[in-house]
């Protein structure tokens, strides 16, 4: 049997060090949990456009037993305390994502990446996550999430609770190239890209919707995409928001320019 290791640092998880780490912190679950509403996990089939319900449970039991007590009560706990006032004010639209300072963007991006990594543990289809990226957040609490791309927006059309999705990003010749996680907390929506390798990438976003949080100063191509009128459910809207952002590999290209001479 393969020994389990901590998702936050890589230490072997023996009986005396393993703890229960909530994927959504309990303070946040209590803010957004609605009576008699369960968190539902679906498998989406692109072929027939159907969703299969896998399981349902309350937000307060959305957790993993793959984190050691040092990470749970240490850097992860400190990160939650730093991010809490930012998340509460943004999800209630008391502040704008556009007005965040560089340090606030770093804190929020660290939290979004940590949450995205933990969300993948609840997925039926497992991504080959580069856990060393998460380990680095614990080793240097002043650093941002290495190699990751984080975007956020505030949308009044999103529901009060918690929603997430994880569409695949792949190239036919390379297979999966990165994990893409979209999740919404009340009116606050994140999209997190976690590359599986160190090849350079470019991002394209919809103008006026998402704001790049990390890396700082990230330059993005912008396109205009109107919100479709046929979106009928909040899940369809979540998928639309998450799929608005594209982060792709940079490949060698030949570019020709035609000059007009008068």
Cα separation of 178 and 34, whole Å? 33
Q: What is the pLDDT of residues 78-116, one digit of tens each?
A: 999 999 999 999 999 999 999 999 999 999 999 999 999
pTM of the entire predicted model:
0.85
Q: How many domains does the chain have?
A: 1
H or E element at residue 202: strand 201-206
Cα separation of 251 and 216, whole Å? 23
Cα separation of 9 and 150, whole Å? 22
Q: What is the pLDDT of residues 51-73, one digit of tens each?
A: 555 555 555 666 677 899 899 99
Neighbours of 78 (CB within 10 A): 12
224 vs 45, higher pLDDT: 224
Q: What is the pLDDT of residues 230-245, one digit of tens each?
A: 878 888 888 899 999 9
Domain membership of residue 238 as a residue range: 18-249
Are 239 and 227 contacting, i.e. CB atoms less than 8 angstroms apart?
no
pLDDT at 63: 65
pLDDT at 163: 85
Residue 257 lies in a domain: no
Q: Would strands 149-154 and 188-195 be described as parallel, antiparallel, or unpaired?
A: antiparallel
**In a 10 Å sphere around its CB, with 0-12 CB exposed, 13-18 middle and 19+ buried, how is residue 150 labelled?**
buried
Three-state DSSP class for residue 74 = coil
The β-bridge partners of 170 are 176
Residue 5 lies in a domain: no
Residue 4 lies in a domain: no
Q: For residue 212, name the pLDDT band (cuts at 50, 70, 90).
A: very high
Q: What is the pLDDT of residues 149-207, one digit of tens each?
A: 999 999 888 877 888 888 878 876 778 889 999 999 989 999 999 999 988 899 999 98
H or E element at residue 104: helix 102-120
pLDDT at 112: 97
Q: What is the residue-wise DSSP string for 111-174?
A: HHHHHHHHHHTT-SSPP---HHHHHHHHH-TTS--TT-EEEEEE-TTS-SSEEEE--EEEETTT
For residue 247, CA distances in Å to 132, 197, 200, 222 come to: 21, 13, 10, 12
Distance of CA 218 to the CA centre of its chain: 17
């Amino acid at each position: 049997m393969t020994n389990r290791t901590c998702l936050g640092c890589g230490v072997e998880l023996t009986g005396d060090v393993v703890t229960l780490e909530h994927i959504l912190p309990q303070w946040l679950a209590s803010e957004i949990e609605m009576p008699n509403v369960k968190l539902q996990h679906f498998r989406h089939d692109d072929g027939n456009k159907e969703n299969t319900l896998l399981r349902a449970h309350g937000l307060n039991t959305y957790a993993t037993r793959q984190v050691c007590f040092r990470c749970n009560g240490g850097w992860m706990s400190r990160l939650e305390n730093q991010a809490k006032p930012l998340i509460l004010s943004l999800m209630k639209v008391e502040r704008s994502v556009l007005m965040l300072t560089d340090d606030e963007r770093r804190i929020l991006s660290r939290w979004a990446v940590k949450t995205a990594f933990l969300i993948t543990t609840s997925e039926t289809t497992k991504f080959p996550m580069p856990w060393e990226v998460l380990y680095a957040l614990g080793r240097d609490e002043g650093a941002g999430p290495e190699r990751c791309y984080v975007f956020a927006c505030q949308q009044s059309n999103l529901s009060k609770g918690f929603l997430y999705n994880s569409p695949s990003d792949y190239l036919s010749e390379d297979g999966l190239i990165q994990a893409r996680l979209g999740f919404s907390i009340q009116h606050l929506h994140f999209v997190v890209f976690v590359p599986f390798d160190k090849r350079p990438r470019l991002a394209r976003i919809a103008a006026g919707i998402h704001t790049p949080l990390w890396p700082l100063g990230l330059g993005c191509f912008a396109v205009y995409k109107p919100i479709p009128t046929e979106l009928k459910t909040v899940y369809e809207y979540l998928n639309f928001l998450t799929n608005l952002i594209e982060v792709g590999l940079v490949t060698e290209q030949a570019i020709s320019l035609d000059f007009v001479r008068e």
